[in-house]
């Protein structure tokens, strides 16, 4: 302590010059900087929240229409001479009658209805009446008759799907000016729509078909539904759950509880951390090359999608599980080992049950990510147009299906703007599923939260 | 599905083995379970695992190598039976069934942990193998340094990667310019200023952005942001008339990355010890001076790591660019023009009907390899920095 | 300052620098400090002693309003520094802390160079007009903290690379460089070995010539060695306050006596 020279210590500033009650200029400047800095933080948070609100509100505004659909309820005479030319009410025979014939029945029914109600619209052509209803309407009518041959000869009033343009007119998507320019719609059709609406023969109501129907072709967005896609996603989630949860938990138990500190363990750890950050599309390439080209599994099948998503979800589950295992205090392990349990018994009897809520929370969040993943599924052929529902598992796991996010992607690729409404509507369905999963995760975490 | 039946039979064998072994063990101890080395159930498990593992292993290997047949079924069942027989023979009071079962379970745990390595090897093999095919028919110099991307399935394609790399990097840069300031300032405000009540609401709200699937952002870019930028900025300023553009994809991707940057930065800022803040505040700094001069410099390596991870995310992101960026491969500085990225072209070349002998299809694997190498390098570097940073304050 | 004034300052050693009246501190529901009244003198080392959890550190943190940084803490009563109530709402805690410096229990150098550590305070408060003035302040402060000879050749190396005792003296130099009038020390030696402790204690004795030093310690020997005044805290109350010699040789309160004779604490 020889270098202590107290004289060199700066003398205290004289008290008089800086009263604490008056902020000096420098302090005022510094405080202004402080306020600005805080404001940047608030602005940043405001922007983030605004982006969230903007995103969700546009999607909901765009997609809400998909859950409502416009139907025309007009009486149609199922002329026996047309639908059952042989007259024996045999569904096999009646299948030979094509949908084209039913189209005529619908048009006739519509024209009869107009005449009967005294609705007259100048310049309304037969073509306009034909295009007023969806192509799907005649197919639906045919299906109804084939399912119940007793209807032949009767007058039925089945709700018939209107075309997407007429539907769009009632949802504000199509205006009279647009209709005039659009070759597929005429102003007369819109007048007809108004007239029928005034008569109560046209109504826009909740559309459960959107959830249950299969996809429909390019020309009939009004009939497209999510049924196959939801089933396909459900199958894949089943595979992910059955494979990723046990494998992920087993891997975590090994790494957290048993692994010796050596090169192999390090390698596995680095691997898992990197796999969590590999772009999802690379997993799609893996699926295409390994599962489809090399192992010969079928394209578009939930089994391939499920395997790809399993590999993608594993790192998430492993990371969450290891955190949950780490959170169990060592004293629990010591206590079990102290009464003579083996390490394996300690883990399976004590540590694992205590870590279970954390593991399940992580698994649900991993599943939620997998459910929304699109890119890898594009590469394994799930973009294919699939109209048939898959069989029940396990056989159905090999059937071609779609998946929710891929269905959304498909619809955004189609020309008719009505498909954008469908896509946004499908996003709402997807987000509802995700919301439910995340709420379940939050509930689990709250319900079983443990403080050591 | 005959395979299902074989699995069921093997399962039944295992169950039978479980019951028999348990009985046999008890019998060998004259019914006194205390004389057994292990609890009776362990003898059962030993027999059950001895049936399951050989049976399913034979089945799985066979199924991978050749189509199912009656011989396969027989082989699997014989393997399972043999396993049970061996296990039953060795079952007696002195047999260390628990140790044996634990060894097997430990082995299974190791196998599960190795799935991670198998996945990486699978990724590398599938990328390298198919890329090698590609480079056999297309010179690698032209791929890596070519500035033209004009694939035509009739032949004579130019498959230069540079325009795709340019689009990828340009969009990622814009995304980071959006996400880093917003994410970082949000994280700073939440960890240093916000009251617990505000934090309890704002943090989960921002993290909702992270839970939204990228296809949703893609549609948002396509339907909302793209037309908005085109009608209000690009067209009035004469910069272009495309809704899909670098700007569209970049901004939307930036929004997607905000929670990624903010939650990583939040963790990292919180890891800076309170004593450093106290030291600075005790000297009379304002909170913002403390953050700028002490907390951020201390957290800098971690934050750089977080930004690199975000960059890797941006480079590998697919759906937003597929729907928001466009498909025109070009090198241009105008951010309101449509450009395309590596991931867009991977999707483009590999969806639909593929001919795995043509360079136009195989190039997707070379692009995948490029993407994998870039993101892997970024990830390893970022994880290394973050890990180093964590150790510093542990 | 002329010679007369200097003399006057020396004579006025009994000046009251800080006086606290009826100070209460609450941590949420917990009443951590109850009715503390104390006068702290200028150019004096005042020690706060007492069993752990008695509130001595909490009270110390009231003096430069470090408790403001804890959301749940609430302070009532009056603490007057040079005639000004530091809890007056016009007072900027930033200005206050420049005047009342603090050294913490665990050495907490910033992860910067030694030079940057010491120059941090002068920089944010704008105490130096030029680089050379700043260099001067850094050197003075490091000399003042008896660290100059050990670090003068490596001023631009990381402060975190120093030994524990050196780190704590660096933190003292950092506090001194801001040119405070009061220096608060919260168990500054608790993380140090005996040799480093004696160095810091010697330093505290030197610092008394220029500052009013308040030190919290749980070592009674340390309090006896370095302080002129001692305050004994127990369960949030200030039990006894007086000249250090009196407290240790002739305590008035039975609780103080029990503590210093080792029966409680």
CATH number at residue B238: 1.10.3720.10
Q: Are A314 and A251 in contact (CB under 8 A)?
A: yes
Task: Write the DSSP symbol of residue C181.
Answer: S
Residues from chain C that touch B275, judged by Cβ atoms under 8 A, are 104, 106, 108
Co-location of A256 and A171 in the same domain:
no
Residues from chain B that touch A30, judged by Cβ atoms under 8 A, are 286, 289
**What pLDDT does A378 receive?**
92
Tokens of A44: 């940043």
pLDDT confidence of C134, banded at 50, 70, 90? very high
The phi, psi pair for B29, rounded to 5°, reads -105, 20
In a domain, A184, yes or no: yes
Co-location of A198 and A253 in the same domain:
no
**What pLDDT does A17 receive?**
52
Would you call the peptide bond into A394 cis, given omega within 30 degrees of 0 as the criterion?
A: yes
- Mean pLDDT computed over C3-9: 47
- Statement: residue B7 has pLDDT above 90: no
Looking at the 3D structure of chain A, how many domains does it have? 2
Q: Name all chains with 3 or more CB-CB pairs below 8 Å to chain B.
A: A, C
In a domain, B122, yes or no: no
For residues B112-148, b (16+ Cβ closer than 10 Å) or e, as one string? Answer: bbbbbeebbebbeebbeebbebbbeebeeeebeebee
pLDDT confidence of C28, banded at 50, 70, 90? confident
Co-location of B213 and B296 in the same domain:
yes
Residues 23-62 of A with CB under 8 A from C: 23-24, 26-27, 30-31
Co-location of A418 and A352 in the same domain:
yes
How does pLDDT run across A239-264, given as a tens digit for each residue? 999 999 999 999 999 999 998 888 88
Which is nearest to B338 in space by CA: B242, B261, B254, B257? Answer: B242
Q: How far apart are CA B9 and CA B32, in angstroms?
A: 32
- Statement: residue C12 has pLDDT above 50: no
Co-location of B203 and B272 in the same domain:
yes
Residue numbers of the domain that contains C247: 13-260
Residue numbers of the domain that contains B157: 149-392
**What pLDDT does A450 receive?**
67
**What pLDDT does B393 receive?**
66
Q: How far apart are CA B154 and CA B325, in angstroms?
A: 26
Q: Are A193 and A179 in contact (CB under 8 A)?
A: no
In a domain, A59, yes or no: no
- Mean pLDDT computed over C162-186: 91
Q: Is this prediction's pTM over 0.80?
A: yes
Co-location of B332 and B388 in the same domain:
yes
In a domain, B218, yes or no: yes
CATH number at residue C187: 3.40.50.300
- Summary mean pLDDT of chain A: 86
pLDDT confidence of A375, banded at 50, 70, 90? very high
- Mean pLDDT computed over A385-407: 86
Look at strands C30-41 and C212-216 and give their pairing: unpaired
Co-location of B241 and B167 in the same domain:
yes
Residues from chain A that touch B309, judged by Cβ atoms under 8 A, are 277
More confident residue, C166 or B388: C166
- Statement: residue A51 has pLDDT above 80: yes
- Statement: residue A7 has pLDDT above 60: no
Does the distance separating the beta carbons of C110 and B285 come in below 8 Å? no
Residues from chain C that touch B289, judged by Cβ atoms under 8 A, are 124
Of A125-129, B138-142, C231-235, the least confident: A125-129
- Statement: residue A32 has pLDDT above 70: yes
More confident residue, C8 or A188: A188
- Statement: residue A209 has pLDDT above 90: no
- Mean pLDDT computed over B277-295: 92
| CB-defined contacts A:B, below 8 A | 260
Q: Which of B106, B208, B222 sits opposite A412 (nearest CB)?
A: B222
- Statement: residue C102 has pLDDT above 80: yes
- Statement: residue C13 has pLDDT above 60: no
Percentage of chain C exceeding pLDDT 90: 43
Minimal C-alpha gap between A203 and chain B (Å): 28
Which is nearest to A138 in space by CA: A196, A97, A198, A197? Answer: A97
- Mean pLDDT computed over A400-410: 93
pLDDT confidence of A452, banded at 50, 70, 90? low
In a domain, B288, yes or no: yes
In a domain, B95, yes or no: yes
Share in percent of chain B as helix, strand, coil (round to 5): 80, 0, 20
Co-location of A255 and A395 in the same domain:
yes
In a domain, A392, yes or no: yes
- Statement: residue A6 has pLDDT above 60: no
- Statement: residue B277 has pLDDT above 60: yes
Of B28-32, B180-184, C146-150, the least confident: B28-32
pLDDT confidence of B251, banded at 50, 70, 90? very high
Does the distance separating the beta carbons of C110 and B280 come in below 8 Å? yes
In a domain, B141, yes or no: no
Q: How far apart are CA B342 and CA C54, in angstroms?
A: 65
- Statement: residue A120 has pLDDT above 90: no
In a domain, C7, yes or no: no
> Any bridge partners for residue C75, and if so which?
C25
| CB-defined contacts B:C, below 8 A | 70
Looking at the 3D structure of chain B, how many domains does it have? 2
Helix, strand or coil for residue C140? helix
Co-location of A371 and A292 in the same domain:
yes
Does the distance separating the beta carbons of C110 and B279 come in below 8 Å? yes
In a domain, A442, yes or no: yes
Instruction: Using the structure block, give the residue that is written with the tokens 């550190």.
Output: C57
Co-location of A144 and A260 in the same domain:
no
Co-location of B72 and B188 in the same domain:
no
Q: Which candidate in C9, C90, C92, C205 is best for mutational testing of the A interface (most A CBs within 10 A)?
A: C92
Co-location of B187 and B248 in the same domain:
yes
Percentage of chain C exceeding pLDDT 70: 94
- Mean pLDDT computed over A25-50: 93
**What pLDDT does B174 receive?**
97
Co-location of A358 and A421 in the same domain:
yes
- Statement: residue C44 has pLDDT above 60: yes
How does pLDDT run across B66-94, given as a tens digit for each residue? 666 778 788 888 888 898 888 888 888 78
pLDDT confidence of A136, banded at 50, 70, 90? confident
- Mean pLDDT computed over A434-451: 85
Tokens of A126: 């037969």
pLDDT confidence of B356, banded at 50, 70, 90? confident
Cα of first residue to Cα of last residue in chain C, in angstroms, is 47
pLDDT confidence of A5, banded at 50, 70, 90? very low
Q: Does A30 touch chain B (CB under 8 A)?
A: yes
Looking at A152, A173, A207, the residue that finishes a domain is A207
Instruction: Using the structure block, give the residue that is written with the tokens 């599309």.
Output: A281
More confident residue, A122 or C183: C183
Q: Which of C98, C99, C111 sits opposite B298 (nearest CB)?
A: C111
In a domain, B123, yes or no: no
Co-location of B184 and B89 in the same domain:
no
Residues from chain B that touch A295, judged by Cβ atoms under 8 A, are 64
Tokens of B50: 């001895």
- Statement: residue B365 has pLDDT above 90: yes
**What pLDDT does A146 receive?**
83
Residue numbers of the domain that contains A110: 68-207
**What pLDDT does C132 receive?**
92
Co-location of B108 and B160 in the same domain:
no
What is the number of alpha carbons within 13 Å of residue A449 lying toward its C-beta? 6
Q: Which of A8, A18, A27 sits opposite C144 (nearest CB)?
A: A8
Does the distance separating the beta carbons of B189 and A38 come in below 8 Å? yes
More confident residue, A10 or C153: C153
- Summary mean pLDDT of chain B: 89
Return the beta strands (E) in A169-241 as ranges.
202-206
Of A88-97, A339-348, A393-402, B222-231, the least confident: A88-97
pLDDT confidence of C68, banded at 50, 70, 90? confident
In a domain, B199, yes or no: yes
- Mean pLDDT computed over C62-88: 88
């Amino acid at each position: 302590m020889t270098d202590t020279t107290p004289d060199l210590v700066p003398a205290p500033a004289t008290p008089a010059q800086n009263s604490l009650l008056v902020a000096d200029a420098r302090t005022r400047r510094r405080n202004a900087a402080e306020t600005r800095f805080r404001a940047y933080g608030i602005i940043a948070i405001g922007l983030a929240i605004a982006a969230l609100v903007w995103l969700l509100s546009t999607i909901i505004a765009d997609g809400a229409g998909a859950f409502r659909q416009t139907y025309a309820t007009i009486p149609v005479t199922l002329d026996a001479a047309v639908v059952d030319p042989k007259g024996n009410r045999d569904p096999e025979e009646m299948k030979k009658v094509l949908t084209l014939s039913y189209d005529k029945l619908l048009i006739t029914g519509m024209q009869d209805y107009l005449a009967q109600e005294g609705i007259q619209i100048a310049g309304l052509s037969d073509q306009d009446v034909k295009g007023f209803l969806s192509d799907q309407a005649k197919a639906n009518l045919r299906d109804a008759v084939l399912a119940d041959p007793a209807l032949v000869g009767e007058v039925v009033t089945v709700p018939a799907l209107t075309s997407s343009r007429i539907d769009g007119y009632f949802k504000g998507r199509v205006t009279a000016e647009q209709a005039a320019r659009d070759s597929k719609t005429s102003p007369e059709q819109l007048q007809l729509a108004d007239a029928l609406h005034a008569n109560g023969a046209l109504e826009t109501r909740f559309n459960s078909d959107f959830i249950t129907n299969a996809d429909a072709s390019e020309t009939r967005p009004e009939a497209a539904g999510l049924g196959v896609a939801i089933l396909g996603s459900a199958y894949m989630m089943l595979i992910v759950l059955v494979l990723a949860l046990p494998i992920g938990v087993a891997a975590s138990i090994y790494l957290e509880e048993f692994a010796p500190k050596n090169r192999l363990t390090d390698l596995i750890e680095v691997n898992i951390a990197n796999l969590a950050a590999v772009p999802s599309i690379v997993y799609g390439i893996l699926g295409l090359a390994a599962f489809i080209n090399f192992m010969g599994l079928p394209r578009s099948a939930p089994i391939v999608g499920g395997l790809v998503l399993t590999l993608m979800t594993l790192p998430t589950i492993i990371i969450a599980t290891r955190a949950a295992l780490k959170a169990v205090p060592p004293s629990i392990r010591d206590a079990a080992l102290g009464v003579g349990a083996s390490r394996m018994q300690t883990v399976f009897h004590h540590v694992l049950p205590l870590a279970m809520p954390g593991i399940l929370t992580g698994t649900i969040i991993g599943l939620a990510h997998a459910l929304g993943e699109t890119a890898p599924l594009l590469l394994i052929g799930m973009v294919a147009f699939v109209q048939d529902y898959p069989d029940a598992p396990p056989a159905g796991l090999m059937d071609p299906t779609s998946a929710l996010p891929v269905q959304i992607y498909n619809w955004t690729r189609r020309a008719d703007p009505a498909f954008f409404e469908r896509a946004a509507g499908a996003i709402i369905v997807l987000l509802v599923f995700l919301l439910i999963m995340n709420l379940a995760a939050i509930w689990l975490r709250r319900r079983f939260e443990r403080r050591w | 599905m005959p395979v299902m039946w074989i699995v069921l039979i093997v399962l039944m064998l295992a169950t039978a083995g479980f019951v028999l072994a348990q009985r046999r063990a008890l019998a060998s101890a004259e019914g006194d379970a205390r004389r057994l080395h292990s609890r009776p159930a362990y003898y059962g498990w030993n027999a059950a695992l001895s049936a399951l593992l050989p049976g399913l292993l034979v089945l799985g290997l066979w199924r991978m190598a050749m189509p199912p047949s009656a011989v396969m079924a027989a082989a699997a069942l014989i393997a399972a039976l043999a396993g049970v027989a061996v296990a039953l023979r060795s079952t007696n009071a002195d047999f260390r069934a628990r140790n044996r079962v634990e060894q097997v379970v430990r082995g299974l745990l190791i196998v599960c942990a190795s799935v991670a390595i198998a996945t990486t090897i699978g990724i590398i093999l599938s990328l390298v193998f198919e890329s090698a095919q590609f480079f056999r028919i297309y010179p690698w110099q032209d791929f890596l340094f070519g500035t033209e991307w004009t694939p035509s399935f009739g032949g004579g394609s130019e498959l230069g990667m540079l325009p795709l790399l340019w689009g990828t990097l340009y969009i990622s840069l814009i995304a980071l310019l959006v996400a880093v300031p917003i994410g970082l300032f949000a994280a700073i405000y939440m960890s240093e200023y916000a009251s617990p009540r505000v934090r309890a609401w704002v943090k989960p709200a921002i993290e909702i952005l992270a839970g939204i699937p990228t296809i949703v952002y893609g549609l948002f870019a396509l339907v909302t942001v793209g037309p908005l930028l085109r009608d209000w900025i690009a067209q009035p300023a004469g910069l272009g008339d495309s809704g899909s553009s670098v700007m569209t994809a970049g901004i939307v991707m930036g929004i997607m990355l905000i929670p990624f940057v903010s939650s990583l930065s939040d963790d990292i800022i919180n890891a800076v010890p309170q004593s450093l803040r106290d030291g600075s505040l005790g000297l009379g700094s304002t909170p913002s001076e403390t953050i700028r001069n002490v907390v951020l410099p201390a957290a800098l390596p971690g934050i750089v790591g977080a930004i690199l991870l975000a960059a890797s995310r941006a480079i590998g992101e697919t759906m937003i660019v597929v729907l928001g960026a466009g498909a025109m491969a070009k090198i241009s500085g105008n951010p309101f023009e449509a450009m395309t990225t590596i991931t867009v072209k991977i999707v483009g070349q590999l969806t639909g009907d593929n001919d795995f002998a043509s360079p136009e299809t195989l190039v997707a694997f070379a692009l995948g390899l490029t993407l994998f190498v870039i993101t892997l390098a970024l990830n390893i570097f970022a994880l290394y920095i973050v890990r180093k940073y964590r150790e510093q304050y542990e | 300052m002329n010679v007369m004034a200097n003399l006057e300052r020396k004579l006025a050693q009994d000046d009251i620098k800080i006086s606290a009246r009826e100070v209460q501190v609450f941590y949420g529901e917990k009443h951590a400090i109850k009715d503390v009244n104390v006068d702290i003198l200028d150019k004096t080392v005042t020690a706060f002693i007492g069993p752990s959890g008695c509130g001595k550190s909490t009270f110390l943190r009231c003096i430069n309003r470090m408790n403001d940084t804890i959301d749940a803490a609430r302070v009532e009563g009056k603490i007057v520094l040079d005639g000004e109530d530091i809890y007056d709402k016009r007072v900027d805690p930033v200005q206050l802390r420049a005047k009342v410096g603090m050294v913490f229990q665990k050495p907490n150098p910033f992860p910067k160079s030694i030079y940057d550590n010491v120059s941090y305070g002068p920089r944010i408060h704008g105490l130096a007009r030029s680089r050379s003035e700043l260099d001067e302040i850094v050197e003075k402060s490091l000399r003042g903290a008896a660290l100059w000879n050990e670090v003068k050749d490596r001023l631009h190396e990381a402060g975190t690379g120093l030994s524990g005792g050196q780190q704590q003296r660096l933190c003292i130099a950092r506090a001194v460089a801001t040119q405070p009038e009061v220096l608060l020390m919260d168990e500054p030696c608790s993380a140090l070995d005996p040799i480093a402790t004696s160095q810091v204690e010697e330093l505290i004795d030197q610092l008394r010539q220029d500052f009013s030093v308040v030190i919290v310690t749980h070592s009674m020997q340390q309090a006896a060695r370095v302080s002129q005044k001692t305050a004994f805290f127990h369960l949030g109350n200030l039990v006894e306050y007086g000249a250090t010699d009196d407290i240790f040789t002739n305590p008035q309160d039975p609780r103080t006596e029990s503590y210093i004779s080792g029966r409680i604490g």
